[in-house]
Amino acid sequence: MLVRRSRVAVAFVLACAFYLFHRALSSGSGPMGSGFAIPRDTRIQYPFREKGINARDAKKAEAVKEVMKRTWKLYKEKAWGFDEIKPVSGKYRNSRNGWGATIIDSMTTTAIMGLTDAFADQYDWVVNRVDFNKAEGLVDPFETTIRYLGALVSTVDLLEAGIISPPSPSFRRNILKQAKTLADNLGPGFDTPTGMIWPRINFTEARGMDMYGRRHQHAIVHLARAGSHWLEYSTLSHLTGDKTYLDNSTKAWDCLVSNKRGVPWPGILESPRSIWTGLPVGTTRTLGAPDDSHYEYLIKAHLLAPKSSTNNYARRWYQAMTSAQKHLSSAAKSQTNPHTFLLSYSKDRYENNMGHLTCFIGGNILLGAKYLSQSSLFSFGEALIEGCHHSYASMPSKIGPESWSWMPRESHLRPPHFPGPVTLSQREMYEKTGIWATATNYNLRPEVVESYFYGWRITGEEKYRRWAWEAFEAIVKATETEWGYSEVDDVTRVRKEGNLRDTSESFWSAETLKYLYLIFEDPELCSLDEWVFNTEAHPLKRRL
């Protein structure tokens, strides 16, 4: 009996191996190596309901919503129609071409939180007031696409999913009309030999420009800018039936995604690139800014539209993350700090410095590794989130700094001696926590709570909610002002006086508060099995 059973088991294992081998081949594994196959119907979110877990914490969700209401009320009172409020002085400023960035970028947050009065104001602004044919200053297609266009197409998706009730019967048509106007005005940006996008556009001239408004053949673009329009453009094409957006966006990203030149670390590209040739003109290899969302969007493109995006995006993502695990992962040497961080690399040297912006990556790795059933990658993602949590827990304010350093344990890296802490306070912090801040400000950024959101929704582990609540309380305490919430200068100080920057970018309400709210709300709201978040936290409906 026993013998027979084990024979059956052996036959079964062989059959499985045979099947997986063929599936890997048929999905074109090529340089991927073994173990990569695109699954058909993986559940991404933890099955809270099946496990009988009531995963909604109404009190904490309500507390986050109150902060959003206060943010909105004060913005409306003091800065209506301008891009941002200045939260210390109660003045305002335009930083995003004067189209009312805070109004439009936070539409999907008010929709998700059910703040219907605020949403009605926003709708009126988009449909009746804003003029996307005129721009104050040069237009940055990257920021415009992720904030403005992302918000508009996401709003239509949220409407169609029944998350917002339409303020008027012509709601869908009116929003899409504005989205199209904006995207059409960005169109000249794609006018390059490679199709890669110019870093700026002059709307008056309807021409692509470099960052300083000049037009020449040496213009460069960083990886994030080159591809972080695919989710938004693909959705706009889907909603309007006009394929031009998807085609332009696919072409603009293609010379990176299907880069045929050999690279030393598969999937990881050197940056920046020439928009004229698509070739690298710099030598930086990093998953952090300004290349970050190139990597973020590779897996998200596949998740958004698995049928129309080809498997190439997911494959590139898997290559890049596997390479990062091999070449950029670094364990800290200190006893007080057993954590994992990400190096970057440039000109044959590693840099032992990591930014708050890079902390999106832990969550992004959990998302892709869960979907592709890659358990080693998954653990790597968890470790990176732990490291980012350590950057928060180490600071006296309990908020992580804009960037920090550690001493790498790996001995084979160049340079053989990494720069250590310099100032007295850096040395003290290093003694205590194993890291030291290299830029001490906090800009109301979302990336750390964003990764907690993925951690919670995918693993169901309570620690992520606990960390999110600790971050929320610390952030409100340090940043609250008379007129809103402000960037802070120095997270290593607890005293508030003289520590505020009088700046509050639109991602505070678009991203930071949205991710915090969704962590405490019912996990079925914007479930990761149905939605993909763009890099500004605007949810787009997956087209499965």
Ligand X SMILES: *[C@@H]1O[C@H](CO)[C@@H](O)[C@H](O)[C@H]1NC(C)=O
List residues binding ligand X (CB under 6 A).
Answer: 137-138, 183-184, 187-188, 190-191, 195, 202, 204-205, 213, 244-245, 248
Contact 178, 132 (CB under 8 A): yes
- CB-wise, 141 or 381, nearer to ligand X? 141
- CB-wise, 71 or 228, nearer to ligand X? 228
Query: Does 116 appear as a known binding residue?
Result: no
Ramachandran assignment for 188, one of left (phi > 0), alpha (psi -120 to 50 degrees), beta (any other): alpha
Q: How far is the CB of 229 from ligand X (least distance, A)?
A: 9
What contacts 66, CB < 8 A, 6 or more positions away? Answer: none
Q: State the CB neighbour count (10 A cutoff) for residue 150.
A: 30
Beta-strand relationship, 329-331 and 340-342: antiparallel
Which burial class, exposed, middle or buried, applies to 238 when counting CB atoms under 10 A from its CB (0-12, 13-18, 19+)? buried
Q: Is 470 one of the catalytic residues?
A: no
The residue among 510, 474, 477, 504 whose CA lies nearest residue 75 is: 504
**CA 188 to chain CA mean position, Å:** 26
Q: How far is the CB of 212 from ligand X (least distance, A)?
A: 9
Q: How far is the CB of 190 from ligand X (least distance, A)?
A: 4
DSSP letter at 356? G
- CB-wise, 189 or 539, nearer to ligand X? 189
What contacts 322, CB < 8 A, 6 or more positions away? Answer: 266, 267, 377
Q: Looking at 447, 505, 511, 521, which residue is catalytic?
A: 447
Beta-strand relationship, 484-485 and 480-481: antiparallel
Instruction: Report the residue closest to ligand X, judged by CB.
Output: 187
- CB-wise, 191 or 351, nearer to ligand X? 191
Which burial class, exposed, middle or buried, applies to 479 when counting CB atoms under 10 A from its CB (0-12, 13-18, 19+)? buried
Q: Looking at 83, 143, 270, 511, which residue is catalytic?
A: 143
Q: How far is the CB of 234 from ligand X (least distance, A)?
A: 13
Q: How far is the CB of 213 from ligand X (least distance, A)?
A: 4
CA neighbours closer than 13 Å in the CB half-sphere of residue 384: 35
The CA distance from 490 to 497, in Å, is 11
Give the C-alpha distances (Å, rounded to integers) separating 129 from 109, 315, 337, 348, 384.
20, 43, 52, 52, 43
- Backbone phi and psi for residue 529, each to the nearest 5 degrees, phi listed first: -80, -15
What DSSP line would sit under 15-76, residue for residue?
A: HHHHHHHHHHHHTT-GGG-SS----SS---S--TTTTT-----HHHHHHHHHHHHHHHHHHH
- CB-wise, 191 or 502, nearer to ligand X? 191
Q: How far is the CB of 226 from ligand X (least distance, A)?
A: 15
CA 213, 217, 218, 223 dihedral sign is: positive
Q: Is 447 one of the catalytic residues?
A: yes
- The one-letter amino acid at 352: N
Q: Is 292 one of the catalytic residues?
A: yes
- CB-wise, 246 or 528, nearer to ligand X? 246
The CA distance from 296 to 226, in Å, is 12
Q: How far is the CB of 138 from ligand X (least distance, A)?
A: 5
Q: Looking at 292, 296, 382, 450, which residue is catalytic?
A: 292
The CA distance from 312 to 18, in Å, is 23
- CB-wise, 215 or 477, nearer to ligand X? 215
Q: How far is the CB of 186 from ligand X (least distance, A)?
A: 6
- CB-wise, 187 or 266, nearer to ligand X? 187
Q: Looking at 191, 247, 402, 530, which residue is catalytic?
A: 402
Contact 320, 267 (CB under 8 A): yes
Q: Is 143 one of the catalytic residues?
A: yes
The CA distance from 424 to 431, in Å, is 11
Residues annotated as catalytic are: 143, 292, 402, 447
Q: Which residues are annotated as a binding site?
A: 535
Q: Which residues are annotated as a binding site for Ca(2+)?
A: 535
